[in-house]
Structure 1
Amino acid sequence: MSAKKLRHLTFILHRILGFAIGLIAILVGITESLIVFQREINEFQLHQQFSAIIFQGDRISLEVVLDIVKAAYANLPEMALQSVYFPTKLDDFFNVVISILGNDWIEVYVNPYTGAIITTAIFLLFTFFTGFAWNLGYIDPLIRTITFSPSLPELLSVPLAGQSPLPLSQQIKTAQLALPDGALQSIDLTTDPKAPLRLWMKLPQEREEYGMSNVYLDQYSGRLCFKKYY
């Protein structure tokens, strides 16, 4: 093969590879944006599809919201509560995330004043894994390794004989005492009796919309296991 033909072939191959890599980068950027802004997109669609939430005084308690969701989806195989996002505005929803058989997950939107389930959104394995892995801390150690950040100490709840986990309302008060200036954004729920309860808070100086500060509490004693803030 002559040098001219080789150069021409190399140029064509370069263009094809460049196009393919560029297309992959675009797809990755789009899907990552959808994951990052998933909550905002869902909220926009909900407000477009349904009438705005009407302020009706005090919100119902978190325990009531979770009981409503558990009762509504009790017939789903291997249903488990994974996390709950709190309303950040008067016309916002409770967003409860539950996992089901096959590692799919469902987002349930609940009226914070009436307890009515407004709608649900079902997501498949891939997107579930990204959120699930992040919530359970599988991605956090990787980021710490890459950035040479110190690892978190081992965080454990200590089960107490004959005692159930403390009510979430009590745990929320403990978290607010740990970070008095923090606004509660969400809670990572767990079915592991030895895992700590993780509460996400937003401090006034944080620019991220939902905050990055965390409080880890023992499920049974309410002991503060660890807190990190920005």
Structure 2
Amino acid sequence: MLIIVGLTGGLLVFQHEISDFILHQQIGKITPQGQQLPIATILERVQTHYAQQPDIILQRVFLPATPGEPINIFIKSKTDEWATAYVHPYTGAVLGDSLSGQDIWQQFLMKVYELHYALLAGDFGIKLVGVVGLLRGYS
């Protein structure tokens, strides 16, 4: 059990770096091109992009931390399915999204979380991992 928790923990430590690498493989590199578009323009272009899917609602906007990152717009469908749209901050183009389970990495990562924190065993697994962690700390 300690090996499983250790290996999954090692993967979770590098999740952001791996996620960034995979995202850049999917959407390509963003080269800064002067000023970023105003948020209102970005939102209009995203709404136009999803006009054929009227059940999509824009929920949150996360601006990039560095000039070479996309704007992340969290979207939600009427069936409460959440996704992220990746938008080019200089052109307003939607570079991709994580709709309809296409983001396999995120699905895999959720299973790794469940394995790490609960051994895929729900509440019992959470308690078991906690007890073994406490006992390991006292030895």
Interval containing the TM-score (normalised by the shorter chain): 0.5 to 0.7
Q: Secondary structure at the match of 2:46?
A: helix
Residue 67 of structure 1 and its aligned partner are, at CA, apart by: 1.2
Q: Secondary structure at the match of 1:55?
A: coil
Structure-2 change in CA distance of 1:49 and 1:68 (3 Å): same
Q: Structure 2: where are the runs of 5+ without partners?
A: 102-106, 108-139
1:90 aligns with 67
Q: Secondary structure at the match of 1:87?
A: coil
The TM-score, its normalising length taken from structure 2, stands at 0.57
Q: Structure 1: where are the runs of 5+ without partners?
A: 1-21, 128-230
Q: Whose radius of gyration is greater, 1 or 2?
A: 1
Cα deviations by residue, 1:23-46 (Å, 9 ceiling, x for unpaired): 9x84xx66xx49xx56x5443212
Q: Which runs of 4 or more aligned residues in structure 1 lie more than 4 Å from their structure 2 counterparts after TM superposition?
A: none
1:121 aligns with 2:105: no
Inter-partner Cα distance in structure 2 for 1:82 and 1:68: 15
Pairing of 1:9-88 with structure 2 (within 5 A): 22=1, 26=5, 33=12, 37=15, 41-88=18-65
Q: Identify the structure with the greater helix proportion.
A: 2
Pairing of 1:129-140 with structure 2 (within 5 A): none
Aligned residues: 99
Higher relative contact order (CA closer than 8 Å, sequence separation 6+) = 2
Q: Identify the structure with the greater strand proportion.
A: 1
Among the aligned pairs, what percent are the same residue? 31
Please tell me the root mean square deviation across aligned C-alpha atoms, in Å.
Answer: 3.1
Inter-partner Cα distance in structure 1 for 2:43 and 2:95: 14
Contact 1:77 1:101 in 2 (8 A): no
1:99 aligns with 2:103: no
Cα deviations by residue, 1:130-165 (Å, 9 ceiling, x for unpaired): xxxxxxxxxxxxxxxxxxxxxxxxxxxxxxxxxxxx
Residue 114 of structure 1 and its aligned partner are, at CA, apart by: 0.9
Pairing of 1:210-229 with structure 2 (within 5 A): none
The TM-score, its normalising length taken from structure 1, stands at 0.36
Inter-partner Cα distance in structure 1 for 2:71 and 2:92: 9
